[in-house]
Every structure is written in structure tokens, then in C-alpha cells.
Amino acid sequence: MKGKFVTIEGPDGAGKTTQVKKISDYLKSRGFKVLVTREPGGTPLGEKLREVLLTSEGESPVPEAEALIYAASRAQLVKKVIEPALDKGFTILCDRFVDSSLAYQGWARGLGIEELARINRWFLQDIWPDLTIVLDIDPAQSLNRLSGKKDRLESETLDFHRKVREGFLKLKDLYPQRIKIVDAAQNPDAIFKTILLELEKSGIINS
């Protein structure tokens, strides 16, 4: 049987990685075959592209180049990892996916959500998430949670991160069946409980 594809999205510092781990542990305890991956990255080539995308050193890509490098990493991940694992019945948990491109490049960088969707449809074909959880939080709050050296995207202005948030909220209106917004200002256990409810409602787990 074909597996299910769940993506976790949200602004930098929203707590995605913590939630991906919690969901993965929970699903495994319920006997699911789970595959956790991330974007950009998740394949050897994708991890190299991740370095190119996130370094603050050297020449920055222009927005169009940035969008295409994210897309290249995604195409590699979809064909090499996600599609084969879905065919084997895995539940996939992906830390960021196409909606990051729609929100960051399409909306915040101003390239156009529909334009980015079109580029991604070309290689995603029918591999779109069954469920997308967007962890929603005021970027002023989430960026404060980040520790250590900021990467190229994290170093963008607060205004840029506000546009990213706005982008995700727009996507929820465009794809209301698939995209669910979860308040990420709550504590991690409360966030996790809300995510479990969404997994139940979408039929990925039974209550």
C-alpha cells in the first residue's frame, strides 16, 4: 500500500525539528514504518546544495537562482528518497518541503506563489503532501529562540520573516484541505497534541 506524506513547515525557530522527532517517535511506537527527511538536503547532492544555499559567505544567489537551487535539491529528494519510500508504504515526515519555496521565494522574495508552484509541479507531479502542518508564530518571537551563528536566510530582516509568515497563511487559503495551521507559541507538548489531532482528522492515524 502506498504510504502517506506529511510535511512540517513554519518560520525559522518555530520548533519544527522538535515536533518532527515527537511525531516520528509516536508513529514508530504505533508500528508505522517512518522515514524522516529534510529540505534543503536529505540526499548527498541535496546536502551539498544546502551548504550553497545557507552559507553567508561569497556571492548570494539572485532570487531566481535561489528558487531553482531549492527546487534542484527537492527534485533529487523526491526521485531518490520520497517516491521509492512511499511505494514501500513508509509514512514520510519531511522538515520543510514545497510550501517553503512558495512562502519564502514565491511570496517573501516576490517571485510569485503561482510561478513557484508551476516550477515545482513540473517535477513533483503527483507527489504533493497529504498533510502539511504549518507551525505559526510571530517571527519576532521565533527568531529570538535561535541560538548560534545565523545562516543566510535567518539573517534576513524581520520584515522578510513577517512576509514569510504571511505567505504561509496565504497558502492555507489556497490549499485548505492539505494545510493546517498550528499555533507554535504554545509549549511543545501542547503543539504536539494539536498535531496529533490533525493527523487523526486527516486519517493518517486512527484515534
Residues contributing to the site for ligand TYD (CB under 6 A):
12, 39-40, 54, 70, 95-96, 100-101, 104-105, 153-154
Distance between alpha carbon 65 and the CA centroid of its chain, in Å?
Answer: 19
Question: Closest approach of Cβ 104 to ligand TYD, in Å?
Answer: 3
Distance between alpha carbon 196 and the CA centroid of its chain, in Å?
Answer: 17
- Distance, in Å, from the CA atom of 192 to the CA atom of 98, rounded to the nearest integer, reads 22
- Distance, in Å, from the CA atom of 38 to the CA atom of 20, rounded to the nearest integer, reads 10
Name the residue nearer to ligand TYD (CB basis): 68 or 197: 68
Question: Closest approach of Cβ 31 to ligand TYD, in Å?
Answer: 28
- Distance, in Å, from the CA atom of 95 to the CA atom of 88, rounded to the nearest integer, reads 20
- Distance, in Å, from the CA atom of 99 to the CA atom of 25, rounded to the nearest integer, reads 24
Question: Closest approach of Cβ 12 to ligand TYD, in Å?
Answer: 4
Look at residue 134 and give its three-state secondary structure: strand
Name the residue nearer to ligand TYD (CB basis): 40 or 129: 40
Name the residue nearer to ligand TYD (CB basis): 94 or 205: 94
Question: Closest approach of Cβ 188 to ligand TYD, in Å?
Answer: 15
Name the strand (E) or helix (H) holding 132.
strand 131-136
Name the residue nearer to ligand TYD (CB basis): 12 or 136: 12
Contact yes or no for 39/46 (Cβ under 8 A):
yes
Question: Closest approach of Cβ 95 to ligand TYD, in Å?
Answer: 6
Name the residue nearer to ligand TYD (CB basis): 95 or 130: 95
